[in-house]
Chain A
């Protein structure tokens, strides 16, 4: 479908002069906003194929598009152990879970847990990581690292260094019934860490499995004003319907203070810059200005002794290109937004109270690095707040201000395309839900009303609600 909007004014041309800026401002006035463009006029792309998550926001100017392309090449780049003749990309590990960003965020899409044909995983996870901690708080207020293994379990290592161990996942099936009698089954994972390389785990170790989320529209989420997020928390309290969203407050290495958390399954990261540097550090073992020390615990002598790939292993310039790339991936346009079944599903979405947390839209404020992202009406379907989702989903591992039962409302934009991009339909923080229905059925705690509502819908209405979710 061709979109005949004034967006074409930006195709390949810089947004330079005042008249153009004024036109931009007028066209993005909320009254003219279009729910078909979840990323706003500047950040939506009408590609619904395998590359749906991988294209730059069309509103970028030429110079930004170049930065995007270069950032993309470093995002995909496989890192190698130091020393290597390819000095630009050595420094992998010593401990790591993947060799490149793209290995887990394949095609900038959603990761999945490893296959488990008889309810037991048959491979090591790569796009699912395990966070570790013990009770207490680190100096910055965040989780206290496990004393031998640190803050993340790394199941791979460079030659000469022991991997931290292996991950085994068991699934238990939990049968249930819709009100109309139709049966369903949910699967609940249990994690075991085996082949431990550095001795026993702490008796009170806390584990949290986290799958790689898809990466569209992240810069737009950064541009949602903090006041907007806090106002939704206030609204939920006022409405007194049992929903009580809370903001997370997290340490940010770039801001050098605590800021509102927006990213990560527990809103445990405040900025894309911190997320990118932190992921390079924790997942691939690449040091940078704000993450300068290798991620080795004091007892991991082989890790500490390993050769580094430079100090730091990725410089500011390269890292900033990857950060920009991560911020400017476009959001795919809505699929069949006017189909009657989709519209019926939308009515049910609101009736079921889903929109209280999965807030459909926001107007962005200024973004410090991407001027075009200001004053965009976007449709991410999230309030970015933490909610108690009940015992079934709890990981019992606090993360800054998030409790062991709270999770951030994830954005729903683009979820319907995960099947096309990544070839699976698993959802939720650990990929336990095999489809949208299972994801809804896991909703509990503050969301209990919505779960009950869904379970009591007719089969036709359940299908309509899911078709609406697939269209986002």
Chain B
């Protein structure tokens, strides 16, 4: 009998034994855990969509009558939407709706991007799709152009929008500072195309996210329906998402590279200098899934049978360690000071680098604990690399 089969039987017994326990949930069968995860995922994607709809509104208002205030509103909406999207990255890395064979992740969140691929840059006023009047600005064409001839030839997604709203970050102390007049006819070359580009990629982002949200909606014949019935496979996917985000993507791609190069270009949200929030959102996203607990945009708490419960039934000590390690990485992530591209500068004694390194070390520790937790469930080889 596998560990998970034992867990299933254990779950029935636990239903009675734990009815009075406040910290664990009554039904910790794999099925219950998968169902609750699916609800959590659905809620998180829905919150992200709600944020993006507000971004669409703000962008439309801005483009209709460009002004400094309108640009600030659009920027604020982008930042708010990112708080929700960042948490959804814990649902990646197992070929689910977001990044399966036809998944839109590369169209949504690709970075770093070659700014000159999209618009003018310092030293080249005619750069990019926007300044090439022969190039078609349409969803189909931008999809084709995305990552064409190189992974940094990003044309769509969150960071394309970010670049359009903030411009290149040429400041040592703050984010990019693109003037709102870039969108005014007569004040900037190809302002009309810039306006169209901004609207187009924002709408494309909404459409892609909607597709992913649909795949997780309850009551349809979709990915969710097969996922919740997938037993061990589904549990392994949940853990793969957590492990790979912890070690491969967040600690590795998003932090170790930047620490090594000390290069402004290597931070996740380099135009808005919002990387410190990206890190917190990712860390929280991992915690949400592990604890089975998510606070929605409207302030509601969604809580239910979790991976933690499932593991605790096999090995309470490992489950505790994972919870502690994750709580630690979230707390340390919140201590990183903005802007991230200043935090990484200096030698190993610089306070900023120490703060970032502490998060990297904490994420690695939690990854080791997650691998142990997987083992407790009979999953002997959890991939955590990206």
Contact = CB atoms under 8 A, between A and B. Distances in A.
Interface of A: 2-4, 7-8, 11-13, 45-47, 49-51, 55-56, 58, 62, 65-66, 68-70, 72-73, 76-78, 80, 83-86, 88-89, 98-100, 102-103, 106, 126, 420
Contacts of B371: 11-12
B204 to A, nearest CB: 21
A398 to B, nearest CB: 32
Contacts of B170: 85
Contacts of B383: 45, 47, 55, 58
Nearest to A420: B101
Contacts of A72: 253
B380 to A, nearest CB: 5
Nearest to B364: A62
Contacts of A11: 371, 381-382, 384
Contacts of B368: 12-13
A7 B364 CA distance: 19
Interface stretch (B48-56, B79-87, B131-139, B144-152): B144-152
Nearest to B375: A8
B358 interface: no
B305 to A, nearest CB: 24
Interface stretch (B14-22, B260-268, B279-287, B339-347): B260-268
B252 interface: yes
Contacts of B153: 78
B308 interface: no
Contacts of A49: 95, 101
Contacts of A106: 151
B384 A12 contact: yes
Nearest to B248: A69
Contacts of A78: 114, 150, 152-153
Given A78-B153, A85-B170, A73 B266 contact: yes
From B101, B380, B383, B385, name the one whose CB has the most chain A CB atoms within 10 angstroms: B385
Contact of A69 (B151, B256, B367, B375): B256
Contact of B151 (A4, A45, A83, A102): A102
Nearest to A54: B386
B122 A85 contact: yes
A424 B374 CA distance: 36
Contacts, number: 96
A371 B151 CA distance: 31
From B149, B375, B382, name the one whose CB has the most chain A CB atoms within 10 angstroms: B149
Contacts of B382: 11
B152 A65 contact: no
A2 B383 CA distance: 11
B247 interface: yes
B381 A3 contact: yes
B252 A98 contact: no
A62 B131 CA distance: 45
A84 B95 CA distance: 38
Contacts of B123: 83-85
26 contacts: A3-B381, A4-B381, A8-B375, A12-B371, A49-B101, A55-B383, A55-B386, A56-B385, A58-B385, A62-B364, A66-B260, A69-B256, A70-B260, A73-B253, A73-B266, A76-B151, A78-B114, A78-B152, A78-B153, A85-B123, A86-B263, A86-B265, A88-B265, A99-B150, A100-B150, A100-B151
Contacts of A2: 379-381
Contacts of B76: none
